Structure 1
Amino acid sequence: MKPNIGRIDSYCRITMGFTMLAWSTAKLSGKSDPAMPLLMAMCGGMKVAEGITRFCPLVYMAEHKVKNMVDDVNGNEESTQEMNH
């Protein structure tokens, strides 16, 4: 697992993740519906983990999707060129 986000991006993710965790903790301590604060706590924890590890699964999937699309396009162009020769 190689880091795929930068240092500044990781600091932002850690900050926003802890902010989301603090908000959700404050809301969970009250007498409101726990569904939304619980979801925010999970998202905040995920953002903190992404910032600490400097690895984002969504960025990883997007990078590989683009790479596969480019490979497919290049492969189709090569097979088309082979058919013409």
Structure 2
Amino acid sequence: MKKNVGLCDAFIRITLGLIGLSYSTARMAQRPYGMSPFIITILSAIKIAEGITRFCPLLAMLGISTENEDGKRPYRIYSYPRRFK
């Protein structure tokens, strides 16, 4: 399984997954027999798993990758030299 999700994208997926999981847990406490909180729980768990493993099956099927090809950090655009007196 090759990583196809970038680091920033993984953090966003984990964060949104945790938000969805907490929302659906609160909704299940109010209405334990509703179907929509259960579906939100499953989708949120999938997003958390994608963020942790950094692999998305949908992106793999489409041939898209948000991961840098060389695995290095992006080049710093601006360099400000520090001059100490």
Report the TM-score when normalising by structure 2. 0.71
Deviation at 1:62, TM superposition (A): 0.5
Q: Which moved more, 1:9-18 or 1:28-37?
A: 28-37
Q: Which has more helix, going by share of residues?
A: 1
Identity %: 41
Tell me if 1:7 matches 2:22.
Answer: no
Q: What residue is the counterpart of 1:43 in the other structure?
A: 43
In the alignment, structure 1 residue 20 sits paired with structure 2 residue 20? yes
Q: Taking CA–CA contacts closer than 8 Å with sequence separation of 6 or more, which of the two structures ends up with the larger relative contact order? A: 2
Measured in 2, the distance between the counterparts of 1:35 and 1:47 equals: 19
Structure 2 gaps of 5+ residues are 65-85
Match of 2:53 in 1: 53
Q: Partner amino acid for 2:3?
A: P
Which structure 1 residue ranges, 5 or more long, are not aligned? 65-85
Q: Offset at 1:34?
A: 1.7
Moved over 3 A (4+): none
With normalisation by structure 1, the TM-score equals 0.71
Q: How far apart in 2 are the matches of 1:2 and 1:54?
A: 9
Deviation, 1:31, is 2.6
| Cα RMSD after superposing both structures | 1.4
The amino acid of 1:63's aligned partner reads: G
Letter of the structure 2 residue corresponding to residue 21 of structure 1 = L
Count of aligned positions: 64
Instruction: Point out the structure with max Rg over C-alpha.
Output: 1
